[in-house]
């Protein structure tokens, strides 16, 4: 059961980055692909029906860690307390910006929210990526499973590179989504941005794969390269699928490399937190499995239906119809 829940946690984090990853990318790129308020509004309108639902995956991933692996949750979240607080602030800025930014009467305040959304959308995958990279790189953990380092110790070399790689992949994922979901100049600029972003993703994931090789290391590199070719060929749907594969393989490779541990100790390998050692009791895991078996398919069906309903491209003249991002 404990190994099953390790896989479930890995799937939840992978799903979060695949689904929320294009939201982050769109938020970070909307000022670059939109040359005026109408075009920026169009770009954000493409994620209007999806962004808040996609964020639920982050809550569920954290809750699953808390319930299935309380020792892992306690140690990791203690070590990353300040970075996670920064993530929380950025999530608040994004949400408030989406809902109220365009309603500001002052042009200066609207620009401020535009840059707030851009910065927050880029910061979140960067910081979360650092945290996921730290799982593999290792943190100073003592024999009692307690974090003994300081704030600076969180920024390991591999963690920083993981954060950078996931940020670039999210930007590419967002560009592919914008190319798929928008029309006109926003679509054209998104496709144009896709090529250099894909090149950046190939470089970062290649270095990442060499740094900490795993069974999935090569897949993000190949998928990012494929996304560049598909975007240039005008195959936006397949390009978006390729960027989704690149992100999914990247996050999954971290957990594959981590197994059978949940957190590596840089102090002493004997202090590593293992799956078996950090897991809850078998009864708790069995109950959680039953609940997950019932609720997860419902959530997936609901989200699938949402994407089906809002599958049409977003043109500048239809942005106001998008829920959560209208004037």
Asked if the model's pLDDT at residue 36 lies above 90, the reply is: no
For residues 52 and 219, the model is more confident at 219
User: What confidence score (pLDDT) does residue 326 get?
Assistant: 39
Band (pLDDT 50/70/90 cuts) for residue 314 is: confident
pLDDT digits (tens, 9 = 90+) for 11-34: 999 999 999 999 999 999 999 998
pLDDT digits (tens, 9 = 90+) for 223-279: 999 999 999 888 999 999 999 999 999 999 999 989 899 999 999 889 999 998 888
What tokens does 294 get?
């019932």
Asked if the model's pLDDT at residue 117 lies above 70, the reply is: yes
User: What's the CA gap between 29 and 238, in Å, rounded?
Assistant: 20
Band (pLDDT 50/70/90 cuts) for residue 317 is: low
User: What confidence score (pLDDT) does residue 324 get?
Assistant: 43
Question: Rounded to whole angstroms, what are the CA distances from 2 to 8, 21, 65, 207, 243?
Answer: 10, 28, 11, 32, 30
Cβ-Cβ contacts under 8 Å for 17 (sequence gap 6 or more) = 125, 166, 170, 247, 248, 250, 251
Nearest to 69 by CA among 290, 271, 288, 268: 288
Percent with pLDDT over 90 in the chain: 56
User: What is the average pLDDT across 102-130?
Assistant: 86
Asked if the model's pLDDT at residue 198 lies above 90, the reply is: yes
User: What confidence score (pLDDT) does residue 188 get?
Assistant: 92
Domain spans of the chain, in order of start: 2-321
Number of H helices and number of E strands within the chain? 12, 2
User: What's the CA gap between 17 and 54, in Å, rounded?
Assistant: 9
The DSSP-derived string for 59-95 is HHHHHHHHHH-HHHHHHHHHHTHHHHHHHHHHHHHHH
pLDDT digits (tens, 9 = 90+) for 65-93: 999 999 999 999 889 999 999 999 999 99
Query: CB-hemisphere CA count at 13 Å for 314?
Result: 26
Estimate to the nearest angstrom the gap between the alpha carbon of 107 and the chain centroid.
31
CATH 1.10.30.50 assigned to domain 2-321? The reply is no
User: What's the CA gap between 86 and 65, in Å, rounded?
Assistant: 20
Residue 285 · residue 291 · CB < 8 Å: no
* Average of per-residue pLDDT values in the chain: 88
| Strand ranges inside 82-184, DSSP E | none
């Amino acid at each position: 059961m404990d190994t099953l829940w390790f896989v479930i946690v890995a799937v939840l984090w992978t799903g979060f980055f695949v689904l929320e990853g294009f939201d982050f990318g769109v938020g970070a790129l909307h000022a670059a692909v939109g040359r005026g308020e109408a075009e920026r509004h169009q770009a954000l309108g493409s994620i209007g029906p999806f962004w808040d639902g996609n964020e639920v995956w982050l809550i569920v991933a954290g809750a699953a860690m808390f319930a299935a692996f309380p020792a892992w949750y306690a140690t990791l979240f203690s070590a990353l307390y300040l970075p996670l607080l920064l993530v929380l602030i950025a999530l608040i800025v994004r949400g408030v910006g989406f809902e109220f930014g365009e309603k500001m009467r002052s042009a200066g305040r609207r620009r401020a929210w535009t840059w707030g959304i851009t910065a927050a959308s880029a910061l979140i995958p960067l910081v979360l990526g650092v945290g996921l990279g730290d799982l593999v790189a290792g943190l100073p953990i003592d024999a009692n499973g307690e974090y003994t380092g300081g704030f600076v110790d969180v920024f390991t070399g591999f963690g920083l590179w993981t954060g950078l790689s996931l940020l670039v992949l999210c930007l590419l994922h967002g560009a592919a989504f914008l190319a798929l979901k928008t029309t006109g100049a926003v679509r054209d600029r998104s496709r144009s941005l896709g090529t250099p972003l894909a090149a950046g993703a190939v470089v970062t994931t290649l270095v990442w794969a060499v740094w900490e090789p795993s069974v999935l290391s090569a897949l993000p590199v190949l998928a990012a390269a494929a996304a560049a070719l598909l975007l240039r060929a005008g195959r936006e749907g397949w390009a978006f699928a390729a960027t989704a594969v690149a992100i999914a393989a990247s996050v999954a490779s971290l957990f594959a490399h981590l197994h059978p541990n949940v957190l590596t100790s840089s102090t002493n390998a004997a202090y590593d937190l293992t799956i078996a050692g950090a897991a809850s009791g078998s009864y708790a895991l069995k109950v959680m499995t039953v609940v997950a078996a019932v609720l997860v398919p419902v959530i997936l069906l609901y989200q699938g239906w949402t994407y089906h309903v809002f599958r049409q491209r977003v043109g500048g003249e239809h942005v106001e119809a998008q829920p959560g991002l209208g004037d």
